[in-house]
Amino acid sequence: MTKTNTEDYLRMYTQMVRIRTFEDNANQLYLSAKMPGLTHMYSGEEAVAVGICEALTDDDRITSTHRGHGHCVAKGAEFKEMFCELLGKAEGYCRGKGGSMHIADQSHGNLGANAIVGGSMGIATGSALRAKLQGSDDVTVCFFGDGATAQGLMYEVMNMAALWNLPVIYACENNGYSEYTKTEEIAAGSITARAEAFGIEAHQVDGQDVLAVNELTQKLVARARKGEGPFFIELMTYRYHGHHVGDINREYYRSKDEEKDWKENRDPIVRFRGYLVEQGIATEDEIEAINAAVEKDATDAVAYAEAAAYPDVSEVDMHVFAA
């Protein structure tokens, strides 16, 4: 185990814990009626966002989804600005204008969450087109759910990405459900075969295994930088909460046993923690210290965001047009 690997591994662990902790706090804000509107929790899918984003630099771009907090944290965002955004405060990443479903973090290459399912596929592919046209070696990752594979836009842009060898990686987070419907009821045939039909190299990977996700992504990113893209990854994963925070009674579409199985037997954080300890990369005490530090960071950020100011009403018609 080299020193750099140790650091990388600990950062991956920390980032996954940060996502889980962020979501637990966001859910609490919703339950205590402090957060306006609804939000979609990323808990359970941490290894996907972290495994991928840890293979990227700040110059690489991502596009995110309605379930976007995980992507945002994994791409390097700060809790303070994120919680401020979720509460509609002026110091949020989008000055309170976007909220959970539109959170974007330009400074780390996050082009934004999107409330239109599949709505960012054009944006991601366009970002990759720009990279190619301008001779830049950055890569764009397009996150989307299994449900989004039903959008026609996906097939239009994959076709062009393949024709023009664009540096884009389509990352399909297959969490088994599209809202309240099982994936097999809304997606015929194989998901990876959709990309393969365009001659796009496609992989399926265990989305609960952060190392597997990271290793694969590193390879694909390196190849995409050399003009060998596009690529497609189907990441098999699971969302722990309901479709959104208000989706509490969900047994009519998803059994408690199934949820229990994923949480108890395949949790990406528990799995990776066990691996780190077993391999002697970190001790239980060190792990606990990381968890505590993240927890404190979140508690402080929530307190800060709760006390922070709303945007002044004069901001309402700012930013409709760019200067």
Ligand X SMILES: Cc1ncc(C[n+]2csc(CCOP(=O)(O)OP(=O)(O)O)c2C)c(N)n1
Q: Site residues (CB under 5 A) for Mg ion?
A: 145-147, 175, 178
Q: Does 13 bind ligand X (CB under 6 A)?
A: no
Q: Which is nearer to ligand X, 115 or 123 (CB)?
A: 115
Q: Which one of 49, 104, 111, 117 is in contact with another protein (CB under 8 A)?
A: 117
b/e 259-284 (16+ beta carbons within 10 angstroms → b):
beebeeebbbbebbbebbeeeebbee
- Which CB sits closer to ligand X, 66 or 266? 66
In angstroms, the CA 27 to CA 245 distance is 7
What's the Cα-to-Cα distance from 301 to each of 92, 259, 321, rounded to whole Å? 11, 30, 31
Q: Which two tokens stand for residue 280?
A: 């002697």
Which of the residues 166 through 185 are near another protein (CB under 8 A)? 178-181, 185
Does 257 help bind another protein (rule: CB under 8 A)?
no
* In the complex, least distance from residue 147 CB atom to ligand X, rounded to whole angstroms: 3
What are the b/e assignments for 125-160, b being 16+ CB within 10 Å?
bbbbbebbeeeeebbbbbbbbbbbbebebbeebbeb
d(CA 108, CA 57): 8
Chain-centre distance of CA 231, in angstroms?
18
> Binding to another protein by residue 233, rule CB under 8 A?
no
Q: Which of 62, 276 has the CB closer to ligand X?
A: 62
160 in helix, strand or coil?
A: helix
Q: Site residues for another protein, window 32-61 (CB under 8 A)?
A: 36-38
Pick from 18, 20, 61, 66: which binds ligand X (CB under 6 A)?
Answer: 66
Q: How many CB atoms lie within 10 A of CB 251?
A: 8
At closest approach, how far in Å is the CB of 129 from another protein?
22
Kindly determine how many residues on this chain lie close enough to bind another protein according to the rule CB under 8 A.
41
Closer residue to ligand X, CB minimum distance, 102 or 130: 102
Give start and end residues of each alpha helix (H) in 165-281.
183-186, 191-196, 210-225, 256-265, 268-278
Using CB atoms, what's the residue nearest to ligand X? 145
Phi, psi of 271 (to 5 degrees): -60, -45
Selected binder of another protein within 164, 198, 240, 253 (CB under 8 A): 253
Six-digit token string for 272: 């990776």
The residue (of 67 and 80) whose beta carbon lies closer to ligand X is 67
Residue type present at position 300: D
Q: Under rule CB under 6 A, which residues in 144-183 are in contact with ligand X? A: 145-148, 173, 175, 177-179
Is residue 89 near another protein by the rule CB under 8 A? yes
Per CB under 8 A, does 242 bind another protein?
Answer: no
CB 165 within 8 A of CB 229: yes
Report the nearest approach of another protein to the CB of residue 263 (Å): 23
**Min separation Cβ 306 and another protein, Å:** 14
Q: Which residues contact 144 (CB under 8 A, 6 or more apart)?
A: 65, 117, 118, 120, 121, 154, 170, 171, 172, 173
Which partner, ligand X, another protein, Mg ion, none, binds residue 53 by CB below 5 to 8 Å per kind? Answer: none
Radius of gyration in angstroms for the set of CA atoms belonging to the chain, rounded to a whole number: 19
Cβ nearer to ligand X, comparing 90 with 123: 123
Q: Which residues of this chain interact with another protein, rule CB under 8 A?
A: 36-38, 88-89, 94-102, 114-119, 147-148, 150-152, 178-181, 185-187, 252-253, 310-311, 313, 315-317, 320
Contact residues for ligand X, defined by CB under 6 A? 66-67, 115-117, 145-148, 173, 175, 177-179, 243
